[in-house]
Structure 1
Amino acid sequence: MIQIENLTLQRDGQPILTGVETTIPATGLTALIGPNGAGKSTLLHGLAGLLPPAAGRVLVNGIDIASARPAERALRVALLTQNPLLVPRLSVRDLIGFGRWPHHRGRPRQEDRDHVDEALRVFDLSALEHRSLDSLSGGQRQRAYVAMAHAQATPWMLLDEPLSALDPRYARDIMERLHRLSRPGEGARGVVIVLHDLGMAARYADWVVTLRDGRLVRSGPRPEVMTTEALSALFETGLAVDECRGRPVVLPV
């Protein structure tokens, strides 16, 4: 699991998150939600150990992630940031192969190639493996970046708004695949994802962390956190949690 202990994070000397304390389960899909400027992306970077805490700490499976060496962090968490750098002529296979760098350090083995093949299969990219990134649609390209994080084969995948600018088809496709990867069992990953789409959070998240103004509001199982009253208060607008065909949905009211 990830234990967040009285965590305060700063950027340019200014506190962005203050006194966050919660835990995130070792498997399943955890959604970070909240208004713009709540500190969601900052928290994700803190979970990856890229922002040294001004106070408190983050333990990833018992390891203080900010104190770990970069090589050790890369074997524990895979972070996909917003708007990753696009290298136009890079092929899909080569991009996914970058996820194996922490394991082979420039000397790929058959095991690394096998992981790339598996990521291509899991994210339905095998037919596109030799295509350049700039020849793909936005949805296909985003799937390739998520596949790169998957190929890193870490216990945790941390994804910052991977659904941004995607149409419903591709957004749902990515969430379905991440949801399957996070199911308990052999090879399960803990997936932590920053989401603005509350409908996707309601449908796929097992655990939800809500933030506002740099502070933790609630954290817990999705049905307990994503309620009509809690979401309306969090976003300061009328929102209703209902059901459609047996699945939870979030509607403006």
Structure 2
Amino acid sequence: MIEIKNLTKQYGNKNVVDNVSFNIERGKITSLIGPNGAGKSTLLSMIAPILERDWGQVLIDGKEMKEWDSKEFAKKVAILKQSNNINIRLTIKELVEFGRYPHCEGKLTKEDKIHVNKAIEYMKIKDIENKYLDELSGGQRQRAYIAMVIAQNTEYILLDEPLNNLDMKHSVQMMKVLRNLVDELQKTVVIVMHDINFASCYSDNIVILKDGKLIKNSDTDSIINKELLEEIYEIDFDIKNINGNKICVYFCNEYCKRREI
């Protein structure tokens, strides 16, 4: 379990993450949602830890994050940032091999190569594994980075907007992969999400942030609530039950409503 206690990040006089406390349950998908500027990515970056926190604690399996040896931490937690800039020219396969660095420090063993190949196949990029990253579409590049995270084979996987640059088909494939990592391999996945319907259909738990504050942390069914979402996003919501999933409709304007009459 990841325990977040009174986590705070301040820029100037503003708390962009303001005294946030909640637990991330093991073996589940937890999605962080909320409007732009809610503090989602900042919070994830402090858990990672990519960003220094100003106050509070993050405990991984009962141990304060700062007390973890960096190599052991990298075997425990994988992080994929929203933007990834690599200055050297790499193929997909070479990138995915980087995921094994905490385990082998660049000297790939037979076991490491098995993890690399499985991750590439898992993300369905075997046919392009020898292509260079600068030859790929945004969606292909994103899938390659996810494969690198999978190859790292950590218990906890932290993803900042992993659906960026993906079309609908590959977004669905991505979420199915993450769901399978949890259901089949007992991974714990934390995702910063903008698409509330993907969060609704694939998450076990959802954390809502607004203006840096924790609004609610609960199971998905409790969060996908018309009144709550309208308060958070300040727009009208209609929630439909489709094949057992709660689907949020929030783009229908007066013109749409007139057409239905």
What is the distance in 1 between the residues matched to 2:26 and 2:110? 29
SS in structure 1 at match of 2:209: strand
Q: Which residue in 1 is equivalent to 2:37?
A: 37
Q: Which residue in 2 is equivalent to 1:197?
A: 195
Query: Does the aligned pair in 2 maintain the 1:120–1:126 contact within 8 Å?
Result: yes
What is the distance in 2 between the residues matched to 1:2 and 1:178? 18
Opposite residue 194 of structure 1, the aligned amino acid is V
Say which one has the larger Rg: 2
What is the distance in 2 between the residues matched to 1:68 and 1:37? 30
Alignment of 1:2-81 (within 5 A): 2-11=2-11, 14-81=14-81
Does 1:94 find its partner at 2:87?
A: no
Count of aligned pairs between the two proteins = 251
What is the distance in 1 between the residues matched to 2:29 and 2:66? 23
Opposite residue 54 of structure 1, the aligned amino acid is D
Question: Please, what TM-score do these two structures have when normalized by structure 1?
Answer: 0.93
Alignment of 1:175-190 (within 5 A): 175-183=175-183, 187-190=185-188
Q: Which residue in 1 is equivalent to 2:218?
A: 220
Query: Does the aligned pair in 2 maintain the 1:93–1:130 contact within 8 Å?
Result: yes
Query: Does the aligned pair in 2 maintain the 1:32–1:208 contact within 8 Å?
Result: yes
Q: Which residue in 1 is equivalent to 2:161?
A: 161
What is the distance in 2 between the residues matched to 1:98 and 1:146? 12
Moved more, 114-123 or 237-246: 237-246
Moved more, 54-63 or 208-217: 54-63
Structure with greater helix percent: 2
Q: Which residue in 1 is equivalent to 2:245?
A: 247
Query: Does the aligned pair in 2 maintain the 1:210–1:218 contact within 8 Å?
Result: yes
Opposite residue 140 of structure 2, the aligned amino acid is Q
Query: Does the aligned pair in 1 maintain the 2:29–2:202 contact within 8 Å?
Result: yes
Query: Does the aligned pair in 1 maintain the 2:7–2:19 contact within 8 Å?
Result: yes
Query: Does the aligned pair in 1 maintain the 2:98–2:106 contact within 8 Å?
Result: no
What is the distance in 2 between the residues matched to 1:51 and 1:81? 11
Q: Which residue in 1 is equivalent to 2:235?
A: 237
Query: Does the aligned pair in 1 maintain the 2:39–2:210 contact within 8 Å?
Result: yes
Q: Give structure 1 stretches of 5+ with no counterpart.
A: none
The alpha-carbon distance between structure 1 residues 117 and 13, as it changes in their structure 2 partners (threshold 3 A), is farther
What is the distance in 2 between the residues matched to 1:111 and 1:10? 43
Opposite residue 177 of structure 1, the aligned amino acid is V
Percent identity, aligned pairs only, is 38
Structure 1 ranges of 4+ moved more than 6 A? none
The alpha-carbon distance between structure 1 residues 188 and 149, as it changes in their structure 2 partners (threshold 3 A), is same
Alignment match of 1:209 (pick from 192, 207, 210):
207
Query: C-alpha displacement at 1:247, in angstroms?
Result: 2.1
Q: Give structure 2 stretches of 5+ with no counterpart.
A: 253-261
SS in structure 1 at match of 2:66: coil
SS in structure 2 at match of 1:75: helix
Query: Does the aligned pair in 2 maintain the 1:46–1:53 contact within 8 Å?
Result: yes
Query: Does the aligned pair in 1 maintain the 2:241–2:247 contact within 8 Å?
Result: yes
Query: C-alpha displacement at 1:58, in angstroms?
Result: 0.8
Q: Deviations over 1:40-64 (max 9, x none)?
A: 0011111112333322201112221
Query: C-alpha displacement at 1:190, in angstroms?
Result: 0.5
Root-mean-square deviation (CA, aligned residues, Å) is 1.7
